[in-house]
Amino acid sequence: MAVKKPVKYKFPATLGACLSRLAALQKQAELLDAKSMPVTAEASALREHLLGTFKKDELQGAKGAGLSLAIVKSTVPTMEDFKVFLKFAMKKGNEDLLQNSVNTPAWRERVAEGIHVPGVGTYDRVTLRVTKSDGK
Protein backbone atom coordinates (compact mmCIF):
# COMPACT_ATOMS: atom_id res chain seq x y z
CA MET A 1 0.00 0.00 0.00
CA ALA A 2 1.44 3.35 -1.05
CA VAL A 3 1.96 6.00 1.59
CA LYS A 4 0.50 9.37 0.65
CA LYS A 5 2.91 12.27 0.79
CA PRO A 6 1.73 15.24 2.83
CA VAL A 7 0.32 18.09 0.78
CA LYS A 8 2.73 21.00 0.40
CA TYR A 9 1.01 24.36 0.54
CA LYS A 10 2.38 27.61 -0.81
CA PHE A 11 1.49 30.40 1.60
CA PRO A 12 1.37 34.12 0.83
CA ALA A 13 4.51 36.05 1.72
CA THR A 14 2.97 38.78 3.89
CA LEU A 15 0.93 38.64 7.07
CA GLY A 16 -1.87 40.65 5.45
CA ALA A 17 -2.04 38.27 2.50
CA CYS A 18 -2.06 35.28 4.88
CA LEU A 19 -4.99 36.81 6.78
CA SER A 20 -6.87 37.41 3.52
CA ARG A 21 -6.29 33.81 2.46
CA LEU A 22 -7.36 32.49 5.88
CA ALA A 23 -10.55 34.60 5.74
CA ALA A 24 -11.35 33.22 2.27
CA LEU A 25 -10.73 29.64 3.45
CA GLN A 26 -12.95 30.12 6.49
CA LYS A 27 -15.74 31.55 4.35
CA GLN A 28 -15.41 28.61 1.96
CA ALA A 29 -15.53 26.15 4.90
CA GLU A 30 -18.64 27.88 6.30
CA LEU A 31 -20.39 27.56 2.93
CA LEU A 32 -19.49 23.87 2.71
CA ASP A 33 -20.69 23.29 6.29
CA ALA A 34 -23.97 25.04 5.52
CA LYS A 35 -24.47 22.85 2.45
CA SER A 36 -23.68 19.63 4.34
CA MET A 37 -25.74 20.47 7.45
CA PRO A 38 -29.11 19.21 6.05
CA VAL A 39 -27.46 15.99 4.86
CA THR A 40 -25.76 15.44 8.22
CA ALA A 41 -29.01 16.14 10.10
CA GLU A 42 -30.98 13.72 7.92
CA ALA A 43 -28.30 11.02 8.29
CA SER A 44 -28.39 11.44 12.08
CA ALA A 45 -32.19 11.25 12.15
CA LEU A 46 -32.10 8.17 9.93
CA ARG A 47 -29.63 6.47 12.28
CA GLU A 48 -32.01 7.13 15.20
CA HIS A 49 -34.89 5.76 13.14
CA LEU A 50 -32.90 2.63 12.30
CA LEU A 51 -32.04 2.09 15.98
CA GLY A 52 -35.73 2.33 16.86
CA THR A 53 -36.67 -0.03 14.03
CA PHE A 54 -34.05 -2.56 15.10
CA LYS A 55 -35.36 -2.51 18.69
CA LYS A 56 -38.99 -3.01 17.61
CA ASP A 57 -38.14 -5.82 15.21
CA GLU A 58 -35.55 -7.35 17.56
CA LEU A 59 -32.99 -7.20 14.76
CA GLN A 60 -29.26 -7.22 15.51
CA GLY A 61 -28.05 -6.06 12.11
CA ALA A 62 -28.71 -5.66 8.41
CA LYS A 63 -26.85 -5.59 5.10
CA GLY A 64 -27.67 -3.81 1.88
CA ALA A 65 -26.71 -1.03 -0.50
CA GLY A 66 -23.05 -1.65 0.24
CA LEU A 67 -23.52 -1.08 3.97
CA SER A 68 -23.48 -3.38 6.94
CA LEU A 69 -25.29 -2.26 10.10
CA ALA A 70 -24.96 -3.84 13.51
CA ILE A 71 -26.36 -3.01 16.91
CA VAL A 72 -23.40 -2.57 19.25
CA LYS A 73 -24.13 -2.53 22.97
CA SER A 74 -21.55 -1.62 25.56
CA THR A 75 -21.93 -1.00 29.26
CA VAL A 76 -20.59 2.37 30.38
CA PRO A 77 -20.35 3.73 33.93
CA THR A 78 -22.30 6.69 35.27
CA MET A 79 -21.45 8.48 38.50
CA GLU A 80 -24.16 7.98 41.10
CA ASP A 81 -22.30 8.85 44.32
CA PHE A 82 -18.91 10.52 43.83
CA LYS A 83 -17.89 10.34 47.50
CA VAL A 84 -18.52 6.58 47.69
CA PHE A 85 -16.71 6.09 44.38
CA LEU A 86 -13.71 8.20 45.44
CA LYS A 87 -13.38 6.31 48.73
CA PHE A 88 -13.19 3.06 46.76
CA ALA A 89 -10.90 4.45 44.04
CA MET A 90 -8.42 5.78 46.62
CA LYS A 91 -7.81 2.28 48.01
CA LYS A 92 -4.56 0.62 46.96
CA GLY A 93 -4.95 -1.15 43.64
CA ASN A 94 -7.94 0.91 42.50
CA GLU A 95 -6.08 4.05 41.40
CA ASP A 96 -6.54 3.10 37.76
CA LEU A 97 -10.20 4.11 38.06
CA LEU A 98 -9.12 7.74 38.29
CA GLN A 99 -8.14 9.78 35.23
CA ASN A 100 -4.89 11.72 35.19
CA SER A 101 -6.21 15.21 34.56
CA VAL A 102 -6.91 18.33 36.56
CA ASN A 103 -10.20 20.20 36.49
CA THR A 104 -8.85 23.43 34.99
CA PRO A 105 -11.55 25.87 36.24
CA ALA A 106 -11.28 24.50 39.82
CA TRP A 107 -7.47 24.70 39.63
CA ARG A 108 -7.62 28.31 38.37
CA GLU A 109 -9.95 29.27 41.24
CA ARG A 110 -7.47 27.92 43.80
CA VAL A 111 -4.53 29.64 42.11
CA ALA A 112 -6.47 32.92 42.09
CA GLU A 113 -7.02 32.46 45.84
CA GLY A 114 -3.27 31.94 46.32
CA ILE A 115 -3.58 28.23 47.06
CA HIS A 116 -0.80 25.96 45.79
CA VAL A 117 -2.09 22.68 44.36
CA PRO A 118 0.60 20.06 45.00
CA GLY A 119 1.63 17.73 42.20
CA VAL A 120 0.39 20.03 39.46
CA GLY A 121 2.71 21.83 37.06
CA THR A 122 1.92 24.33 34.35
CA TYR A 123 2.88 25.10 30.79
CA ASP A 124 1.87 27.87 28.43
CA ARG A 125 -0.23 26.52 25.58
CA VAL A 126 -0.01 28.78 22.55
CA THR A 127 -2.96 28.76 20.18
CA LEU A 128 -4.20 31.01 17.42
CA ARG A 129 -7.63 32.49 17.95
CA VAL A 130 -9.24 33.67 14.75
CA THR A 131 -12.35 35.84 14.94
CA LYS A 132 -14.17 38.04 12.50
CA SER A 133 -13.57 41.75 12.81
CA ASP A 134 -15.21 44.82 11.32
CA GLY A 135 -11.95 46.15 9.86
CA LYS A 136 -10.39 45.03 6.62
15-57 per-position pLDDT tens digit: 999 999 999 999 999 999 999 999 999 999 998 888 887 776 6
d(CA 90, CA 70): 38
- Residue 85 carries which side chain, given as an amino acid letter? F
49-87 pLDDT tens trace: 888 877 766 667 777 888 888 877 889 899 999 999 999
- CA distances to 99, 100, 106, 115 from 110, rounded to whole Å, are 20, 19, 6, 5
